[in-house]
Structure 1
Amino acid sequence: MSRGEVMSLPSTVNTSMSVLIVDDEPGMRSFLTKAMSKKFALVETASTITEAEQLRSKGHFDVLIVDIRLPDRSGIEWHEALDDSERQSDIIFMTGYADMDVAIKALRAGASDFIMKPFHLEQMMSAVDRCIEKRLLKRENFMLRRELSHGQSSTIIGSSDAITEVKQVIERVAPTNAVVLIEGESGTGKELVARQLHQLSGRTGPFVPVNCGAIAPELLASELFGHVAGSFTGAKASREGLFSFASDGTIFLDEIGEMPMNMQTALLRVLEQRAIRPVGSEKEVAINVRVIAATNRLLIEEVEKGTFRRDLYYRLNVLNILIPPLRARPEDVVELTHHFTVQISRDLGIKPVLWSHEDLQVLKQHEWTGNIRELKNMIERCILLGKPPAEYWKKDPLPNAPETLGFPLDWTLKDVEKHHVTQVVDAYGGNKSAAARDLGVSRKTLDRKYKDWFGHDDDHEADQALES
Structure 2
Amino acid sequence: MSTSPYLGQVDASGMPTASSEFGSWQQYAILVIDDEGGMRNFLGRALSSRCGAVKTAASAEDGARLVEEQHFDLIILDVSLPGKSGIEWLHELRHTGFYGDVILITAFADMETAIGALRAGATDFILKPFRIDQLLNAIGRCFDRAHLARENFVLRRAMAELSEVTELVGESSAMAEMRAMINRLAPLPTTVLISGESGTGKEVVARALHNHSPRASQPFVPVNCGAIAAELIESELFGHVKGAFTGSIGERKGLFFYAQGGTLFLDEVGELPLAMQTKLLRVLEEKRIRPVGSEREIPVDVRILAATNRKLSSAVHSGHFRADLFYRLDVMSILIPPLRERRDDVLPLARHFMGQLSAQLGVPPITICDDIMQAMRVYTWPGNARELRNLIERSLILGKFPIGCVSPVNAPALPGQAPVTLEEVEKQHILRVLDSVSGNKSEAARLLDISRKTLERKCNAWQI
Could you state the TM-score of these two structures normalised by the residue count of structure 2?
0.73
Distance in 2 (CA, whole Å) between partners of 1:160 and 1:56 is: 53
1:118 paired residue among 117, 124, 129: 129
Equivalent positions of 1:31-42 (< 5 A) are 31=40, 35=44, 38=54, 41-42=71-72
For 2:379, give the aligned amino acid: H
Alignment RMSD (CA, Å): 3.7
- The Cα of 1:297 is off from its aligned counterpart by 0.4
1:74 aligns to what SS in structure 2? helix
2:377 aligns to what SS in structure 1? helix
In the alignment, structure 1 segments of 5+ residues that lack a partner are 1-10, 83-88, 94-114, 396-415, 447-468
1:293 paired residue among 306, 311, 318: 306
2:218 aligns to what SS in structure 1? coil
What's the counterpart of residue 437 of structure 1?
457
Q: Deviations over 1:360-402 (max 9, x none)?
A: 111111121111111111121222233425543579xxxxxxx
Q: Deviations over 1:380-430 (max 9, x none)?
A: 1222233425543579xxxxxxxxxxxxxxxxxxxx997498589779953
Distance in 2 (CA, whole Å) between partners of 1:201 and 1:12 is: 18
Distance in 2 (CA, whole Å) between partners of 1:349 and 1:436 is: 36
What's the counterpart of residue 172 of structure 1?
184
Distance in 2 (CA, whole Å) between partners of 1:198 and 1:315 is: 19
- The Cα of 1:270 is off from its aligned counterpart by 0.8
Distance in 2 (CA, whole Å) between partners of 1:34 and 1:422 is: 65
1:327 paired residue among 340, 365, 372: 340
Distance in 2 (CA, whole Å) between partners of 1:312 and 1:207 is: 22
Equivalent positions of 1:386-397 (< 5 A) are 386-389=399-402, 391-392=404-405
- The Cα of 1:350 is off from its aligned counterpart by 1.1
What's the counterpart of residue 353 of structure 2?
340
What's the counterpart of residue 62 of structure 1?
100
Matched, 1:52 2:84: no
Distance in 1 (CA, whole Å) between partners of 2:440 and 2:197 is: 16
What's the counterpart of residue 400 of structure 1?
none
Distance in 1 (CA, whole Å) between partners of 2:294 and 2:131 is: 34
Matched, 1:92 2:124: yes
Distance in 2 (CA, whole Å) between partners of 1:31 and 1:53 is: 22
In the alignment, structure 2 segments of 5+ residues that lack a partner are 1-24, 48-52, 56-66, 409-431
Whether the aligned pair in 2 keeps the contact of 1:375 and 1:429 (CA below 8 Å) is no
Distance in 2 (CA, whole Å) between partners of 1:394 and 1:320 is: 33
- The Cα of 1:253 is off from its aligned counterpart by 0.3
For 1:75, give the aligned amino acid: T
1:365 paired residue among 346, 358, 378: 378
Distance in 1 (CA, whole Å) between partners of 2:189 and 2:364 is: 43
Whether the aligned pair in 2 keeps the contact of 1:217 and 1:259 (CA below 8 Å) is yes
Whether the aligned pair in 1 keeps the contact of 2:98 and 2:298 (CA below 8 Å) is no
What's the counterpart of residue 250 of structure 1?
263
- The Cα of 1:92 is off from its aligned counterpart by 2.1
1:185 aligns to what SS in structure 2? coil
For 1:217, give the aligned amino acid: A
2:153 paired residue among 142, 146, 149: 142
Could you state the TM-score of these two structures normalised by the residue count of structure 1?
0.72
Q: Deviations over 1:297-341 (max 9, x none)?
A: 011111111111111111100110000001111121111111111
Distance in 2 (CA, whole Å) between partners of 1:335 and 1:61 is: 45
- The Cα of 1:286 is off from its aligned counterpart by 1.5
For 2:298, give the aligned amino acid: V
Matched, 1:227 2:259: no
Distance in 2 (CA, whole Å) between partners of 1:20 and 1:31 is: 7
- Number of aligned pairs? 383
Whether the aligned pair in 1 keeps the contact of 2:104 and 2:117 (CA below 8 Å) is no
What's the counterpart of residue 14 of structure 1?
28
Distance in 2 (CA, whole Å) between partners of 1:292 and 1:389 is: 39
- The Cα of 1:205 is off from its aligned counterpart by 1.0
For 1:359, give the aligned amino acid: I
Matched, 1:354 2:367: yes
Distance in 2 (CA, whole Å) between partners of 1:118 and 1:420 is: 70
Distance in 2 (CA, whole Å) between partners of 1:317 and 1:225 is: 22
Distance in 2 (CA, whole Å) between partners of 1:226 and 1:245 is: 10
2:193 aligns to what SS in structure 1? strand
2:304 aligns to what SS in structure 1? strand
Matched, 1:196 2:228: no
Whether the aligned pair in 1 keeps the contact of 2:274 and 2:320 (CA below 8 Å) is yes
2:372 aligns to what SS in structure 1? helix
**Quick check: 382-391 or 212-221, which moved more?**
382-391
1:251 aligns to what SS in structure 2? strand
Distance in 2 (CA, whole Å) between partners of 1:417 and 1:80 is: 54
- The Cα of 1:38 is off from its aligned counterpart by 1.3
Whether the aligned pair in 2 keeps the contact of 1:264 and 1:309 (CA below 8 Å) is yes
Give percent identity, aligned residues only.
42
Q: CA 1:417 to 1:429, structure 2 compared with 1: closer, same or farther past 3 Å?
A: closer
1:320 aligns to what SS in structure 2? strand
- The Cα of 1:355 is off from its aligned counterpart by 1.5
